[in-house]
């Protein structure tokens, strides 16, 4: 049951990017996940 295509699932399923998402949006999300030094801490994505 795919709800959108393409679908990018990040952060253990907490972030779901659907459809035609620009590379800058994907990059910003990944950079924010990598920047978070504390496991389980809130992030801006």
Query: Residue 43: pLDDT above 70?
Result: no
**pTM for the model:** 0.60
Cα angle: 25, vertex 27, 33; to 5 degrees: 105
> What is the chain's percent helix, strand, coil content, to nearest 5?
35, 20, 45
For residue 29, the tally of other CB atoms under 10 A from its CB is 19
SS3 for 42? coil
What is the tens place of the pLDDT at every residue in 3-33? Answer: 677 888 888 888 888 888 888 988 988 888 8
End-to-end CA distance of the chain: 24
């Amino acid at each position: 049951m795919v709800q959108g295509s393409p679908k990018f699932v990040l952060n253990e399923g907490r972030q779901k990017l659907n459809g035609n998402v620009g590379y800058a949006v994907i990059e910003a999300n990944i950079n924010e996940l990598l920047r978070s030094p504390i496991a389980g801490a809130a992030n801006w994505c």
